[in-house]
Amino acid sequence: MDRVDPAPRLVPTVPAPPASPLSFWGYVRAIRTNALTIWTERAYQEPFEWRRLVGRSTLLVNAPDAIHRVLVDNPGNYRRSPASIRILRPVIGDGLLLAEGDAWRHQRRTIAPALAPRMMPLLAGHVVATAADHLDRLPVDAPVDLLAAVQMLALDIAGRSMVSLEMAAFGPRMRALIAEFATDLSRPHLFDMVLPAAVPTWRDLRRRRFSARWMRLIEEIVDARLSRPPQPEDAPRDLFDLLRAARDPETGAAFDRIALRDRVATMILAGHETTAVTLFWALLLLADAPHEQARVAAEAREIGSQATEARAVGSQATETRAGGSQAADARAGGLDAAAVPRLVRTRAVVQETLRLFPPAFALVREAIGPDRLCDMDVPKGTVVMIAPWVLHRHARFWRDPAVFDPDRFMPDAPPPPRHAWLPFGTGPRVCVGAQFALTEATLALAMLLARYEVGRLDSDPVLPSGIVTLIPTRAPAFRLRRR
Ligand code: HEM
């Protein structure tokens, strides 16, 4: 009998961790250029790693009980760090991500219903329609920058699903501003880390100038949406309508224009940048693992054609299916919200991508009071880091952690150990868009692979860099072939 060679195992190239703790200046430089390199080799084996920086202690936490204490049992003792506030406030203002206390609770209660599991069919409809439009425009048999393509796709999906606006008029300006911010002002410097958030650094002054330009653009989006006629029956059509209808539980007041702007900025930014990089890393992994790509493509095509057949039978019975919706069905490869639970291999690839390349690579908090984590004293002021990047590659939790292996997330695989897979965080501040992100990434990936075979034009490694999110250090050229 012929021997079937197992598929080669893909081990994506990533920056090597330092063997011993970085020097003071090495650490400060690493935070600014690529924060993935601040953790030593031992961090990937041990439950904790301490470090001191200008009189302040920093603690990396890998122990599940300690993670639970920080994020689930005692989150009130851990607020966002001054550096996170300095960097994020200019682009998201007082939106959900940075809000605290009662203001946070009120926003969370307003926003969560728009992203609840029961809203997924509606949101998936936006994903399918937008992805079909974007896939039609991708160049075939020619070099293509898939990083830029998925960034625009995810931005358009966020715009259409959350504020019912196409992003054509705003998207390129938004992406240009985000790129400008990412290459400079989003990189933390020493003073950003050591000074309290209330004390401005010279970079904060530049961030304020940037913020004014950015927020003007978001106000344009808010104005464009406000100028739309209201729904005839006043039913909320999207997240924006829910935000407008929300009233402060104590004062009964509506969100004012600035509050509305900050909420829209947060949801569009948090809602597209992370999903875009997830799609990028998934496509890179699949381009480098053709065997795995073929399995995902076969699944997407099979489930798409089964769904199309089932709908055709249903429409013959009722004779209601219009030619237009048949054409839309064909452009989507037959895929829709109902297909998502059946795309198990595609979803496993998305989950494994989030393990190897978690967009939110570190959750950083500051202890506002003393605490104890696993019998260890944690003084007030300690910067506590829970780093999905480290947890997802930790020797105690994963077998062959560096290998790309979607089987880990197939339905018959044992679930990951507690808190070992945290791409969306956990506890009360868990990502409010997690369901939507998984639905969006699974559907968009399946639609793309059902239609195109994805290859790369060079085989040089593409390294991840940790700066706010996990971005690639370069945008490699891909090539698409029609299947
Ligand atoms: C793959 C995509 C995504 C990843 C990896 C991701 C990751 C995360 C993580 C780790 C947190 C918790 C941060 C912390 O505890 O410090 C978070 C919070 C948040 N995410 Fe996501 N996210 C994604 C997609 C989305 C989407 C699609 C939306 C909106 C539709 C969204 C909106 C938010 C918001 C508003 C918060 C703040 C929640 C709060 O503080 O109550 N995210 N996200």
Alpha carbon nearest to ligand 1 atom 9, residue: 424
Angle between helices 146-163 and 202-226 (to 10 degrees): 60
The SS3 assignment for 57 reads strand
pLDDT computed for residue 443 by the predictor: 96
pLDDT computed for residue 457 by the predictor: 95
Contacts of 458 (CB under 8 A, 6+ apart): 476, 477
CA 247 to chain centre: 29
The domain made up of 24-482 has a fold known as Cytochrome p450 (1.10.630)
pLDDT computed for residue 3 by the predictor: 60
pLDDT computed for residue 164 by the predictor: 87
Per domain, the residue ranges of the chain are 24-482
What distance in Å separates the CA atoms of residue 161 and residue 205, rounded to the nearest whole number?
34
What distance in Å separates the CA atoms of residue 427 and residue 77, rounded to the nearest whole number?
13
Q: How far is the CA of 425 from the centre of ligand 1 (A)?
A: 8
What is each CA distance from 210 to 303, 356, 438, in whole angstroms? 46, 32, 31
Most ligand 1 atoms within 8 A of CB, residue of 274, 354, 384, 445 to mutate:
274
The SS3 assignment for 430 reads coil
Q: Which residue positions in the chain have pLDDT lower than 70? A: 1-5, 231-236, 249, 314-330
pLDDT computed for residue 369 by the predictor: 97
pLDDT computed for residue 309 by the predictor: 76
Stated pTM of the model: 0.94
> Is the separation of the CB atoms in 53 and 188 below 8 Å?
no
Q: Is the dihedral of CA 444, 445, 451, 452 positive or negative?
A: positive
Tell me the per-residue pLDDT of 40-91, one tens digit each, with 9 for 90 and over. Answer: 999 999 999 999 887 789 999 999 999 999 999 999 999 999 888 999 999 9
Alpha carbon nearest to ligand 1 atom 17, residue: 431
